[in-house]
Structure 1
Amino acid sequence: MRDSRGYTVFRVVNAVLILAICFVTLYPFLNVVAVAFSSQGYINAGQVSVIPLGFNVTTFGIVMGDPMFWRNYGNTILYTTVATAISMVLTTIFAYALSKKRLKGRAFFVGIAVFTMFFAGGIIPNYVLINSLGWRNTIWAIVIPNAISIFNLLVMKAFFENFPEELEEAAAIDGLTTYGILWRIVLPLSKAVIATMVLFYAVTFWNSWFSAVLYMSKPELYPVTVYLRNLLLSSAQPQDSAEGLQIAANVKAVTMLLTVLPIVCLYPFLQKYFVSGVMLGSVKA
Protein backbone atom coordinates (compact mmCIF):
# COMPACT_ATOMS: atom_id res chain seq x y z
CA MET A 1 0.00 0.00 0.00
CA ARG A 2 1.22 3.50 -0.83
CA ASP A 3 1.73 5.85 2.08
CA SER A 4 -0.57 8.84 2.34
CA ARG A 5 0.83 12.29 1.62
CA GLY A 6 0.53 13.28 5.28
CA TYR A 7 2.45 10.22 6.46
CA THR A 8 5.17 10.84 3.86
CA VAL A 9 5.57 14.41 5.11
CA PHE A 10 5.73 13.12 8.67
CA ARG A 11 8.52 10.68 7.79
CA VAL A 12 10.53 13.37 6.03
CA VAL A 13 10.16 15.84 8.91
CA ASN A 14 10.96 13.08 11.39
CA ALA A 15 14.13 12.14 9.48
CA VAL A 16 15.26 15.77 9.29
CA LEU A 17 14.70 16.27 13.02
CA ILE A 18 16.60 13.09 13.89
CA LEU A 19 19.53 14.10 11.68
CA ALA A 20 19.56 17.56 13.27
CA ILE A 21 19.57 16.06 16.76
CA CYS A 22 22.39 13.69 15.78
CA PHE A 23 24.45 16.59 14.43
CA VAL A 24 23.88 18.70 17.54
CA THR A 25 24.85 15.72 19.70
CA LEU A 26 27.97 14.80 17.73
CA TYR A 27 29.23 18.33 17.03
CA PRO A 28 30.94 18.89 20.42
CA PHE A 29 32.80 15.58 20.16
CA LEU A 30 33.81 16.21 16.54
CA ASN A 31 34.99 19.68 17.52
CA VAL A 32 37.15 18.21 20.29
CA VAL A 33 38.69 15.76 17.81
CA ALA A 34 39.34 18.54 15.31
CA VAL A 35 40.96 20.81 17.91
CA ALA A 36 43.13 17.94 19.17
CA PHE A 37 44.70 17.56 15.71
CA SER A 38 44.88 21.28 14.76
CA SER A 39 47.77 23.71 15.02
CA GLN A 40 48.03 26.50 17.57
CA GLY A 41 47.35 29.44 15.23
CA TYR A 42 44.02 28.12 13.94
CA ILE A 43 42.92 27.15 17.46
CA ASN A 44 43.69 30.57 18.94
CA ALA A 45 41.94 32.25 16.02
CA GLY A 46 38.79 30.21 16.67
CA GLN A 47 38.71 28.85 13.11
CA VAL A 48 38.48 25.13 13.97
CA SER A 49 35.00 23.57 13.79
CA VAL A 50 34.76 19.88 12.86
CA ILE A 51 37.71 19.61 10.45
CA PRO A 52 41.33 19.82 11.70
CA LEU A 53 43.26 22.79 10.32
CA GLY A 54 47.05 22.79 10.14
CA PHE A 55 47.23 19.10 11.06
CA ASN A 56 49.42 18.70 14.14
CA VAL A 57 50.08 15.88 16.60
CA THR A 58 52.67 17.58 18.79
CA THR A 59 50.71 17.21 22.01
CA PHE A 60 49.88 13.57 21.25
CA GLY A 61 53.55 12.91 20.63
CA ILE A 62 54.65 14.54 23.88
CA VAL A 63 51.99 12.80 25.97
CA MET A 64 52.19 9.34 24.42
CA GLY A 65 55.99 9.44 24.26
CA ASP A 66 56.21 9.73 28.04
CA PRO A 67 56.69 6.32 29.75
CA MET A 68 54.83 7.65 32.80
CA PHE A 69 51.72 8.13 30.65
CA TRP A 70 51.63 4.43 29.77
CA ARG A 71 52.39 3.48 33.38
CA ASN A 72 49.44 5.55 34.58
CA TYR A 73 47.29 4.24 31.72
CA GLY A 74 48.01 0.70 32.85
CA ASN A 75 47.10 1.72 36.41
CA THR A 76 43.74 3.01 35.19
CA ILE A 77 42.99 -0.24 33.38
CA LEU A 78 43.93 -2.23 36.49
CA TYR A 79 41.97 -0.01 38.88
CA THR A 80 38.89 0.03 36.64
CA THR A 81 38.91 -3.73 36.07
CA VAL A 82 39.38 -4.69 39.71
CA ALA A 83 37.01 -2.04 41.05
CA THR A 84 34.26 -2.89 38.56
CA ALA A 85 34.54 -6.62 39.32
CA ILE A 86 34.36 -6.07 43.09
CA SER A 87 31.52 -3.57 42.75
CA MET A 88 29.48 -5.89 40.57
CA VAL A 89 29.87 -8.82 42.98
CA LEU A 90 28.92 -6.77 46.04
CA THR A 91 26.10 -4.84 44.34
CA THR A 92 24.56 -7.96 42.78
CA ILE A 93 24.58 -9.97 46.02
CA PHE A 94 23.26 -7.06 48.09
CA ALA A 95 20.55 -6.17 45.55
CA TYR A 96 19.41 -9.78 45.20
CA ALA A 97 19.08 -10.14 48.97
CA LEU A 98 17.16 -6.86 49.30
CA SER A 99 14.77 -7.89 46.52
CA LYS A 100 13.39 -10.72 48.66
CA LYS A 101 10.40 -9.61 50.72
CA ARG A 102 10.92 -12.53 53.10
CA LEU A 103 14.28 -11.11 54.20
CA LYS A 104 14.11 -10.18 57.89
CA GLY A 105 15.03 -6.55 58.48
CA ARG A 106 14.69 -5.76 54.77
CA ALA A 107 13.28 -2.28 55.36
CA PHE A 108 16.10 -1.51 57.79
CA PHE A 109 18.83 -2.48 55.31
CA VAL A 110 17.16 -0.55 52.50
CA GLY A 111 16.91 2.47 54.80
CA ILE A 112 20.59 2.22 55.72
CA ALA A 113 21.53 2.04 52.05
CA VAL A 114 19.38 5.03 51.10
CA PHE A 115 20.69 6.99 54.11
CA THR A 116 24.22 6.84 52.70
CA MET A 117 23.02 8.56 49.53
CA PHE A 118 22.39 11.76 51.46
CA PHE A 119 24.88 11.63 54.33
CA ALA A 120 28.58 10.79 54.33
CA GLY A 121 31.46 11.05 56.75
CA GLY A 122 33.31 13.71 54.75
CA ILE A 123 36.80 13.98 53.31
CA ILE A 124 38.77 14.19 56.56
CA PRO A 125 37.14 11.19 58.32
CA ASN A 126 37.52 9.16 55.14
CA TYR A 127 41.18 10.10 54.87
CA VAL A 128 41.79 9.20 58.51
CA LEU A 129 40.06 5.85 57.99
CA ILE A 130 42.01 5.00 54.85
CA ASN A 131 45.27 6.00 56.52
CA SER A 132 44.53 3.97 59.67
CA LEU A 133 43.79 0.90 57.53
CA GLY A 134 47.14 1.28 55.80
CA TRP A 135 45.55 1.67 52.38
CA ARG A 136 47.32 4.86 51.29
CA ASN A 137 49.25 4.35 48.05
CA THR A 138 47.40 1.09 47.39
CA ILE A 139 44.67 0.08 44.97
CA TRP A 140 42.26 -0.52 47.85
CA ALA A 141 42.05 3.20 48.59
CA ILE A 142 40.34 3.64 45.21
CA VAL A 143 38.42 0.36 44.99
CA ILE A 144 36.83 -0.20 48.40
CA PRO A 145 35.37 3.21 49.46
CA ASN A 146 33.27 3.45 46.28
CA ALA A 147 32.54 -0.27 45.88
CA ILE A 148 28.74 0.09 45.98
CA SER A 149 26.77 2.81 44.24
CA ILE A 150 23.40 3.11 45.94
CA PHE A 151 21.74 4.23 42.71
CA ASN A 152 23.02 1.12 40.92
CA LEU A 153 22.00 -0.98 43.91
CA LEU A 154 18.41 0.28 43.79
CA VAL A 155 18.19 -0.25 40.03
CA MET A 156 19.35 -3.86 40.36
CA LYS A 157 17.06 -4.41 43.35
CA ALA A 158 14.06 -3.22 41.31
CA PHE A 159 15.08 -5.47 38.43
CA PHE A 160 15.33 -8.54 40.64
CA GLU A 161 11.94 -7.74 42.21
CA ASN A 162 10.40 -8.06 38.73
CA PHE A 163 12.00 -11.46 38.21
CA PRO A 164 9.41 -14.31 37.95
CA GLU A 165 9.25 -16.09 41.29
CA GLU A 166 8.02 -19.27 39.61
CA LEU A 167 11.41 -19.86 38.02
CA GLU A 168 13.18 -19.60 41.36
CA GLU A 169 10.62 -21.83 43.05
CA ALA A 170 11.01 -24.46 40.33
CA ALA A 171 14.80 -24.31 40.71
CA ALA A 172 14.49 -24.68 44.48
CA ILE A 173 12.29 -27.75 44.03
CA ASP A 174 15.00 -29.21 41.78
CA GLY A 175 17.46 -28.84 44.65
CA LEU A 176 19.33 -25.64 43.88
CA THR A 177 20.50 -23.53 46.81
CA THR A 178 20.03 -19.76 47.00
CA TYR A 179 23.46 -19.16 45.47
CA GLY A 180 22.80 -21.81 42.85
CA ILE A 181 19.57 -20.11 41.84
CA LEU A 182 21.35 -16.74 41.62
CA TRP A 183 24.27 -18.09 39.60
CA ARG A 184 22.49 -20.55 37.30
CA ILE A 185 19.02 -19.04 36.88
CA VAL A 186 18.90 -15.33 37.75
CA LEU A 187 22.20 -14.00 36.41
CA PRO A 188 21.98 -15.64 32.93
CA LEU A 189 18.58 -13.93 32.52
CA SER A 190 19.84 -10.58 33.80
CA LYS A 191 22.39 -9.73 31.10
CA ALA A 192 20.73 -6.40 30.32
CA VAL A 193 20.93 -4.93 33.81
CA ILE A 194 24.37 -6.46 34.45
CA ALA A 195 25.81 -4.94 31.28
CA THR A 196 24.29 -1.59 32.22
CA MET A 197 25.78 -1.70 35.70
CA VAL A 198 29.18 -2.72 34.32
CA LEU A 199 29.08 0.31 32.05
CA PHE A 200 28.06 2.63 34.89
CA TYR A 201 30.80 1.38 37.21
CA ALA A 202 33.48 1.25 34.52
CA VAL A 203 32.82 4.84 33.44
CA THR A 204 32.82 6.03 37.06
CA PHE A 205 36.11 4.37 37.97
CA TRP A 206 37.75 5.23 34.66
CA ASN A 207 37.03 8.94 35.11
CA SER A 208 37.83 8.98 38.83
CA TRP A 209 40.79 11.14 39.86
CA PHE A 210 39.99 12.76 43.22
CA SER A 211 40.52 9.60 45.28
CA ALA A 212 43.94 9.10 43.71
CA VAL A 213 44.95 12.71 44.43
CA LEU A 214 43.72 12.36 48.00
CA TYR A 215 45.13 8.96 48.91
CA MET A 216 48.20 8.55 46.69
CA SER A 217 51.49 10.43 46.82
CA LYS A 218 53.55 8.41 44.32
CA PRO A 219 53.24 9.50 40.66
CA GLU A 220 53.84 5.95 39.42
CA LEU A 221 50.60 4.89 41.16
CA TYR A 222 48.41 7.61 39.65
CA PRO A 223 45.66 6.76 37.16
CA VAL A 224 45.89 8.37 33.75
CA THR A 225 43.23 10.95 34.66
CA VAL A 226 45.58 12.44 37.27
CA TYR A 227 48.44 12.44 34.76
CA LEU A 228 46.31 14.34 32.25
CA ARG A 229 45.06 16.67 34.98
CA ASN A 230 48.64 17.56 35.91
CA LEU A 231 49.44 18.07 32.24
CA LEU A 232 46.46 20.39 31.94
CA LEU A 233 47.61 22.40 34.97
CA SER A 234 51.15 22.69 33.67
CA SER A 235 49.93 23.91 30.27
CA ALA A 236 48.09 26.76 32.00
CA GLN A 237 51.46 28.29 32.90
CA PRO A 238 53.08 30.82 30.49
CA GLN A 239 54.94 29.06 27.68
CA ASP A 240 58.05 30.31 25.90
CA SER A 241 58.71 27.77 23.14
CA ALA A 242 56.58 27.13 20.06
CA GLU A 243 56.15 23.53 21.21
CA GLY A 244 54.91 24.74 24.58
CA LEU A 245 52.41 27.07 22.93
CA GLN A 246 51.10 24.26 20.73
CA ILE A 247 50.63 21.98 23.75
CA ALA A 248 48.87 24.75 25.68
CA ALA A 249 46.54 25.38 22.73
CA ASN A 250 45.08 21.90 22.35
CA VAL A 251 45.96 20.09 25.57
CA LYS A 252 42.33 20.26 26.76
CA ALA A 253 41.09 18.57 23.61
CA VAL A 254 43.84 15.94 23.71
CA THR A 255 43.11 15.31 27.39
CA MET A 256 39.39 14.79 26.80
CA LEU A 257 40.00 12.62 23.73
CA LEU A 258 42.49 10.31 25.44
CA THR A 259 40.24 10.00 28.48
CA VAL A 260 36.97 9.29 26.70
CA LEU A 261 38.25 7.16 23.81
CA PRO A 262 38.31 3.77 25.63
CA ILE A 263 34.76 4.29 26.93
CA VAL A 264 33.57 5.28 23.46
CA CYS A 265 35.08 2.06 22.11
CA LEU A 266 33.44 0.01 24.89
CA TYR A 267 29.97 1.54 24.64
CA PRO A 268 28.88 0.01 21.27
CA PHE A 269 29.29 -3.49 22.72
CA LEU A 270 27.02 -2.68 25.67
CA GLN A 271 24.62 -0.23 24.03
CA LYS A 272 22.01 -2.85 23.15
CA TYR A 273 21.69 -3.71 26.85
CA PHE A 274 21.87 -0.14 28.12
CA VAL A 275 18.35 1.20 27.61
CA SER A 276 16.60 -2.09 28.33
CA GLY A 277 18.59 -2.56 31.54
CA VAL A 278 17.71 0.85 32.93
CA MET A 279 14.06 0.60 31.90
CA LEU A 280 13.61 -2.88 33.34
CA GLY A 281 15.20 -1.77 36.57
CA SER A 282 12.99 1.31 36.86
CA VAL A 283 9.58 -0.37 36.65
CA LYS A 284 9.29 -0.45 40.42
CA ALA A 285 10.56 2.05 42.96
Structure 2
Amino acid sequence: MARERYRFNTPAGRVFDVANVVVLSVIGLAAVLPFLYVMAGSFATEAELSRRAFFVWPEEWTLESYRSILSSPAFVRAMVTTVLVTVVGTAIQLLLTVTMAYPLAKKSLPGRNLVLGMVVVTLVFSAGMIPTFLVVRELGLLNTYWALVLPMAINPFSLIIIKNFFQAMPPELEESARIDGATDVGVLLRIVLPLSKPVLATFTLFYAVGIWNDFMSPLLYLNDPDMWTLQVFLRQVTAGAEMASGEIDPNYVPPEQGMKLAVIAVATLPVLLFYPLLQKHFAKGMLIGSVKG
Protein backbone atom coordinates (compact mmCIF):
# COMPACT_ATOMS: atom_id res chain seq x y z
CA MET A 1 0.00 0.00 0.00
CA ALA A 2 2.84 2.41 0.81
CA ARG A 3 4.43 1.70 -2.59
CA GLU A 4 1.10 2.42 -4.35
CA ARG A 5 0.66 5.74 -2.52
CA TYR A 6 4.20 6.75 -3.40
CA ARG A 7 3.65 5.95 -7.06
CA PHE A 8 0.66 8.30 -7.33
CA ASN A 9 2.50 11.07 -5.48
CA THR A 10 5.03 11.34 -8.28
CA PRO A 11 4.74 14.17 -10.89
CA ALA A 12 3.53 11.67 -13.49
CA GLY A 13 0.90 10.39 -11.08
CA ARG A 14 -0.33 13.91 -10.34
CA VAL A 15 -0.54 14.71 -14.07
CA PHE A 16 -2.51 11.52 -14.56
CA ASP A 17 -4.94 12.51 -11.78
CA VAL A 18 -5.45 16.00 -13.25
CA ALA A 19 -6.03 14.58 -16.72
CA ASN A 20 -8.55 12.13 -15.29
CA VAL A 21 -10.45 14.91 -13.54
CA VAL A 22 -10.51 17.08 -16.67
CA VAL A 23 -11.65 14.29 -19.00
CA LEU A 24 -14.32 13.01 -16.61
CA SER A 25 -15.55 16.56 -15.96
CA VAL A 26 -15.95 17.19 -19.68
CA ILE A 27 -17.82 13.91 -20.13
CA GLY A 28 -20.03 14.72 -17.13
CA LEU A 29 -20.87 18.17 -18.47
CA ALA A 30 -21.67 16.73 -21.90
CA ALA A 31 -24.16 14.38 -20.23
CA VAL A 32 -25.69 16.87 -17.77
CA LEU A 33 -25.99 20.06 -19.85
CA PRO A 34 -28.64 18.75 -22.30
CA PHE A 35 -30.79 17.63 -19.37
CA LEU A 36 -30.37 21.01 -17.65
CA TYR A 37 -31.48 22.71 -20.85
CA VAL A 38 -34.57 20.51 -21.07
CA MET A 39 -35.49 21.27 -17.47
CA ALA A 40 -34.86 25.00 -17.84
CA GLY A 41 -36.70 25.15 -21.17
CA SER A 42 -39.74 23.45 -19.72
CA PHE A 43 -40.11 26.37 -17.27
CA ALA A 44 -39.32 29.08 -19.85
CA THR A 45 -41.68 31.09 -22.04
CA GLU A 46 -42.12 30.42 -25.76
CA ALA A 47 -40.56 33.79 -26.56
CA GLU A 48 -37.40 32.94 -24.67
CA LEU A 49 -37.16 29.49 -26.26
CA SER A 50 -37.35 31.00 -29.73
CA ARG A 51 -34.86 33.75 -28.86
CA ARG A 52 -32.17 31.80 -26.95
CA ALA A 53 -30.56 28.72 -28.48
CA PHE A 54 -29.25 27.34 -25.19
CA PHE A 55 -29.61 28.24 -21.52
CA VAL A 56 -29.70 26.51 -18.14
CA TRP A 57 -31.60 29.23 -16.27
CA PRO A 58 -34.71 30.87 -17.71
CA GLU A 59 -35.13 34.63 -17.53
CA GLU A 60 -38.81 34.28 -16.69
CA TRP A 61 -40.22 31.23 -14.91
CA THR A 62 -43.60 29.88 -15.95
CA LEU A 63 -45.62 26.69 -15.42
CA GLU A 64 -47.60 27.13 -18.62
CA SER A 65 -46.02 24.15 -20.36
CA TYR A 66 -46.81 21.81 -17.46
CA ARG A 67 -50.32 23.23 -17.18
CA SER A 68 -50.85 22.44 -20.85
CA ILE A 69 -49.73 18.81 -20.69
CA LEU A 70 -51.50 18.11 -17.39
CA SER A 71 -54.73 19.45 -18.87
CA SER A 72 -54.43 16.96 -21.73
CA PRO A 73 -56.44 13.74 -21.22
CA ALA A 74 -54.10 11.98 -23.66
CA PHE A 75 -51.03 12.78 -21.54
CA VAL A 76 -52.67 11.79 -18.25
CA ARG A 77 -53.88 8.53 -19.80
CA ALA A 78 -50.42 7.74 -21.21
CA MET A 79 -48.76 8.53 -17.87
CA VAL A 80 -51.10 6.30 -15.87
CA THR A 81 -50.75 3.51 -18.43
CA THR A 82 -46.96 3.66 -18.33
CA VAL A 83 -46.84 3.59 -14.52
CA LEU A 84 -49.18 0.59 -14.31
CA VAL A 85 -47.39 -1.35 -17.07
CA THR A 86 -44.01 -0.63 -15.46
CA VAL A 87 -45.09 -1.76 -11.98
CA VAL A 88 -46.92 -4.89 -13.13
CA GLY A 89 -44.32 -5.77 -15.77
CA THR A 90 -41.40 -5.39 -13.37
CA ALA A 91 -43.11 -7.59 -10.78
CA ILE A 92 -43.86 -10.30 -13.37
CA GLN A 93 -40.37 -10.24 -14.86
CA LEU A 94 -38.67 -10.37 -11.47
CA LEU A 95 -40.96 -13.18 -10.29
CA LEU A 96 -40.35 -15.33 -13.37
CA THR A 97 -36.60 -14.67 -13.38
CA VAL A 98 -36.19 -15.55 -9.69
CA THR A 99 -38.33 -18.69 -9.87
CA MET A 100 -36.30 -19.93 -12.85
CA ALA A 101 -32.89 -18.90 -11.50
CA TYR A 102 -33.33 -20.57 -8.10
CA PRO A 103 -33.73 -24.18 -9.33
CA LEU A 104 -31.03 -23.68 -11.97
CA ALA A 105 -28.63 -22.75 -9.15
CA LYS A 106 -28.90 -26.36 -7.89
CA LYS A 107 -26.30 -28.56 -9.58
CA SER A 108 -28.35 -31.64 -8.73
CA LEU A 109 -31.29 -30.49 -10.87
CA PRO A 110 -31.95 -33.00 -13.71
CA GLY A 111 -31.48 -31.41 -17.13
CA ARG A 112 -29.87 -28.32 -15.64
CA ASN A 113 -27.03 -28.11 -18.16
CA LEU A 114 -29.44 -28.49 -21.08
CA VAL A 115 -31.63 -25.65 -19.87
CA LEU A 116 -28.62 -23.43 -19.16
CA GLY A 117 -27.32 -24.16 -22.65
CA MET A 118 -30.64 -23.05 -24.14
CA VAL A 119 -30.49 -19.86 -22.08
CA VAL A 120 -26.93 -19.09 -23.25
CA VAL A 121 -27.95 -19.64 -26.89
CA THR A 122 -30.57 -16.90 -26.57
CA LEU A 123 -27.81 -14.49 -25.54
CA VAL A 124 -26.22 -14.93 -28.96
CA PHE A 125 -29.19 -15.59 -31.22
CA SER A 126 -32.56 -13.85 -31.08
CA ALA A 127 -35.67 -14.32 -33.20
CA GLY A 128 -35.83 -10.70 -34.31
CA MET A 129 -38.67 -8.25 -34.63
CA ILE A 130 -40.80 -9.94 -37.31
CA PRO A 131 -40.87 -13.49 -35.84
CA THR A 132 -41.60 -12.02 -32.41
CA PHE A 133 -44.45 -9.98 -33.85
CA LEU A 134 -45.90 -13.08 -35.53
CA VAL A 135 -45.74 -15.02 -32.25
CA VAL A 136 -47.43 -12.19 -30.36
CA ARG A 137 -50.15 -11.99 -33.01
CA GLU A 138 -50.80 -15.74 -33.02
CA LEU A 139 -51.07 -15.75 -29.23
CA GLY A 140 -53.77 -13.09 -29.44
CA LEU A 141 -51.75 -10.51 -27.53
CA LEU A 142 -51.96 -7.72 -30.12
CA ASN A 143 -53.51 -4.53 -28.77
CA THR A 144 -53.17 -5.77 -25.19
CA TYR A 145 -50.79 -4.64 -22.48
CA TRP A 146 -49.56 -8.21 -22.04
CA ALA A 147 -47.67 -7.76 -25.32
CA LEU A 148 -45.47 -5.19 -23.56
CA VAL A 149 -44.50 -7.56 -20.75
CA LEU A 150 -44.59 -11.24 -21.71
CA PRO A 151 -42.28 -11.29 -24.79
CA MET A 152 -39.38 -10.06 -22.63
CA ALA A 153 -40.51 -11.59 -19.35
CA ILE A 154 -37.14 -13.28 -18.68
CA ASN A 155 -33.88 -11.63 -19.65
CA PRO A 156 -31.14 -14.28 -20.18
CA PHE A 157 -28.36 -12.05 -18.87
CA SER A 158 -30.32 -11.19 -15.72
CA LEU A 159 -31.21 -14.84 -15.25
CA ILE A 160 -27.57 -15.94 -15.33
CA ILE A 161 -26.41 -13.23 -12.92
CA ILE A 162 -29.17 -14.00 -10.41
CA LYS A 163 -28.52 -17.73 -10.79
CA ASN A 164 -24.84 -17.19 -10.01
CA PHE A 165 -25.79 -15.10 -6.99
CA PHE A 166 -28.00 -17.87 -5.61
CA GLN A 167 -25.33 -20.47 -6.39
CA ALA A 168 -22.70 -18.54 -4.41
CA MET A 169 -24.73 -18.68 -1.20
CA PRO A 170 -23.45 -21.05 1.51
CA PRO A 171 -25.41 -24.31 1.26
CA GLU A 172 -25.37 -24.61 5.05
CA LEU A 173 -28.03 -21.88 5.26
CA GLU A 174 -30.51 -23.90 3.24
CA GLU A 175 -29.60 -27.15 4.98
CA SER A 176 -30.27 -25.67 8.41
CA ALA A 177 -33.62 -24.33 7.19
CA ARG A 178 -34.62 -27.71 5.83
CA ILE A 179 -33.67 -29.36 9.14
CA ASP A 180 -36.16 -26.98 10.75
CA GLY A 181 -38.82 -28.24 8.37
CA ALA A 182 -38.79 -25.55 5.67
CA THR A 183 -39.88 -26.49 2.15
CA ASP A 184 -38.15 -25.33 -1.04
CA VAL A 185 -40.57 -22.42 -1.32
CA GLY A 186 -40.03 -21.58 2.34
CA VAL A 187 -36.26 -21.59 1.90
CA LEU A 188 -36.58 -19.29 -1.10
CA LEU A 189 -38.90 -16.84 0.63
CA ARG A 190 -37.38 -16.82 4.12
CA ILE A 191 -33.67 -17.43 3.51
CA VAL A 192 -32.63 -16.77 -0.08
CA LEU A 193 -34.63 -13.67 -1.03
CA PRO A 194 -33.88 -11.66 2.15
CA LEU A 195 -30.16 -12.24 1.50
CA SER A 196 -30.54 -11.28 -2.17
CA LYS A 197 -31.61 -7.66 -1.77
CA PRO A 198 -28.61 -6.21 -3.68
CA VAL A 199 -29.10 -8.29 -6.82
CA LEU A 200 -32.90 -8.03 -6.67
CA ALA A 201 -32.74 -4.25 -6.29
CA THR A 202 -30.33 -4.00 -9.22
CA PHE A 203 -32.47 -5.96 -11.64
CA THR A 204 -35.65 -4.33 -10.39
CA LEU A 205 -34.06 -1.09 -11.55
CA PHE A 206 -33.01 -2.62 -14.88
CA TYR A 207 -36.44 -4.10 -15.55
CA ALA A 208 -38.33 -0.97 -14.52
CA VAL A 209 -36.16 1.35 -16.62
CA GLY A 210 -36.39 -1.01 -19.60
CA ILE A 211 -40.19 -1.12 -19.51
CA TRP A 212 -40.53 2.61 -18.80
CA ASN A 213 -38.30 3.55 -21.76
CA ASP A 214 -39.67 0.90 -24.12
CA PHE A 215 -40.77 2.52 -27.36
CA MET A 216 -40.80 -0.22 -29.99
CA SER A 217 -43.15 -2.65 -28.20
CA PRO A 218 -46.06 -0.20 -27.79
CA LEU A 219 -45.49 1.07 -31.31
CA LEU A 220 -45.63 -2.45 -32.78
CA TYR A 221 -48.29 -4.11 -30.66
CA LEU A 222 -50.74 -1.36 -29.67
CA ASN A 223 -53.05 -0.12 -32.41
CA ASP A 224 -55.39 1.91 -30.21
CA PRO A 225 -54.03 5.44 -29.54
CA ASP A 226 -55.88 5.44 -26.20
CA MET A 227 -53.58 2.60 -25.06
CA TRP A 228 -50.30 4.29 -25.98
CA THR A 229 -47.62 4.61 -23.34
CA LEU A 230 -45.70 7.75 -22.46
CA GLN A 231 -42.84 7.04 -24.88
CA VAL A 232 -45.14 6.79 -27.90
CA PHE A 233 -46.99 9.87 -26.71
CA LEU A 234 -43.65 11.67 -26.43
CA ARG A 235 -42.85 10.73 -30.02
CA GLN A 236 -46.18 12.18 -31.14
CA VAL A 237 -45.58 15.44 -29.33
CA THR A 238 -41.97 15.91 -30.45
CA ALA A 239 -42.99 15.04 -34.02
CA GLY A 240 -45.39 17.95 -34.00
CA ALA A 241 -48.67 16.06 -33.68
CA GLU A 242 -51.52 17.92 -32.02
CA MET A 243 -52.17 17.06 -28.39
CA ALA A 244 -55.70 16.99 -27.14
CA SER A 245 -56.16 19.61 -24.47
CA GLY A 246 -58.70 19.92 -21.73
CA GLU A 247 -58.75 23.70 -22.01
CA ILE A 248 -62.20 25.27 -22.19
CA ASP A 249 -61.06 28.41 -23.98
CA PRO A 250 -61.03 27.64 -27.75
CA ASN A 251 -58.63 30.54 -28.35
CA TYR A 252 -55.96 29.07 -26.07
CA VAL A 253 -52.67 28.39 -27.89
CA PRO A 254 -50.45 25.94 -25.96
CA PRO A 255 -46.69 26.61 -25.81
CA GLU A 256 -45.45 24.19 -28.48
CA GLN A 257 -41.70 24.09 -27.74
CA GLY A 258 -42.06 24.33 -23.98
CA MET A 259 -44.66 21.57 -24.03
CA LYS A 260 -42.26 19.23 -25.84
CA LEU A 261 -39.54 19.90 -23.26
CA ALA A 262 -42.01 19.46 -20.39
CA VAL A 263 -43.10 16.04 -21.70
CA ILE A 264 -39.44 14.98 -22.03
CA ALA A 265 -38.76 16.13 -18.46
CA VAL A 266 -41.76 14.26 -17.08
CA ALA A 267 -40.75 11.11 -18.97
CA THR A 268 -37.18 11.31 -17.63
CA LEU A 269 -37.57 12.41 -14.01
CA PRO A 270 -39.21 9.24 -12.57
CA VAL A 271 -36.23 7.13 -13.60
CA LEU A 272 -33.78 9.64 -12.14
CA LEU A 273 -35.73 9.75 -8.88
CA PHE A 274 -36.06 5.96 -8.71
CA TYR A 275 -32.33 5.27 -9.08
CA PRO A 276 -31.15 6.87 -5.77
CA LEU A 277 -33.54 4.63 -3.83
CA LEU A 278 -31.65 1.55 -5.04
CA GLN A 279 -28.20 3.07 -5.41
CA LYS A 280 -26.74 1.51 -2.24
CA HIS A 281 -27.53 -1.97 -3.60
CA PHE A 282 -26.64 -1.23 -7.23
CA ALA A 283 -22.83 -1.65 -7.29
CA LYS A 284 -22.87 -4.69 -5.01
CA GLY A 285 -25.62 -6.32 -7.04
CA MET A 286 -23.71 -5.90 -10.28
CA LEU A 287 -20.47 -7.35 -8.91
CA ILE A 288 -21.76 -10.25 -6.82
CA GLY A 289 -22.68 -13.24 -8.91
CA SER A 290 -20.87 -12.04 -12.03
CA VAL A 291 -17.60 -13.80 -11.22
CA LYS A 292 -18.51 -17.38 -10.47
CA GLY A 293 -20.15 -19.60 -13.06
TM-score interval for Structure 1 and Structure 2 normalised by the shorter chain: 0.7 to 0.9
2:25 aligned with 1:30, yes or no?
Answer: no
CA contact (8 A) 2:68 2:259 kept: no
Structure 1 residue 36: deviation in Å? 2.1
CA contact (8 A) 1:36 1:254 kept: yes
* TM-score between the two structures when normalised by the length of structure 1: 0.84
Structure 1: runs of 5 or more not aligned: 1-5
- From 109, 122, 128, the counterpart of 2:115: 109
Opposite residue 266 of structure 1, the aligned amino acid is F
Q: Give the match for residue 83 of structure 2.
A: 77
Q: Give the match for residue 204 of structure 1.
A: 210
Secondary structure of the corresponding residue to residue 54 of structure 2:
coil
Q: Give the match for residue 230 of structure 1.
A: 236
Structure 1 residue 254: deviation in Å? 2.5
RMSD: 2.9
Q: Give the match for residue 265 of structure 2.
A: 257
Structure 1 residue 283: deviation in Å? 2.7
CA contact (8 A) 2:234 2:263 kept: yes
2:290 aligned with 1:282, yes or no?
Answer: yes
Q: Give the match for residue 164 of structure 2.
A: 158
- From 74, 78, 84, the counterpart of 1:68: 74
Structure 1 residue 201: deviation in Å? 0.5
* TM-score between the two structures when normalised by the length of structure 2: 0.82
CA contact (8 A) 1:94 1:153 kept: yes
Residues 45-101 of structure 1 show CA distances to partners (whole Å, capped at 9, x for unaligned) of 555332123434443232221011111111111111111111011100111122111
Q: Give the match for residue 268 of structure 1.
A: 276
Opposite residue 197 of structure 1, the aligned amino acid is F
CA contact (8 A) 1:88 1:198 kept: yes
Opposite residue 154 of structure 2, the aligned amino acid is I
Measure the CA separation in 1 of the matches of 2:205 and 2:271.
9
CA contact (8 A) 1:37 1:55 kept: yes
Give the count of matched residue pairs: 271
Secondary structure of the corresponding residue to residue 151 of structure 2:
coil
Opposite residue 40 of structure 2, the aligned amino acid is A
Measure the CA separation in 2 of the matches of 1:155 and 1:143.
21
Opposite residue 266 of structure 2, the aligned amino acid is L
Structure 1 residue 28: deviation in Å? 3.4
Measure the CA separation in 2 of the matches of 1:93 and 1:38.
49
CA contact (8 A) 1:193 1:273 kept: yes
Deviates more, 1:136-145 or 1:112-121: 112-121
Q: Give the match for residue 222 of structure 2.
A: 216
Deviates more, 1:37-46 or 1:96-105: 37-46
Measure the CA separation in 2 of the matches of 1:268 and 1:232.
28
Structure 2: runs of 5 or more not aligned: 1-8, 243-250
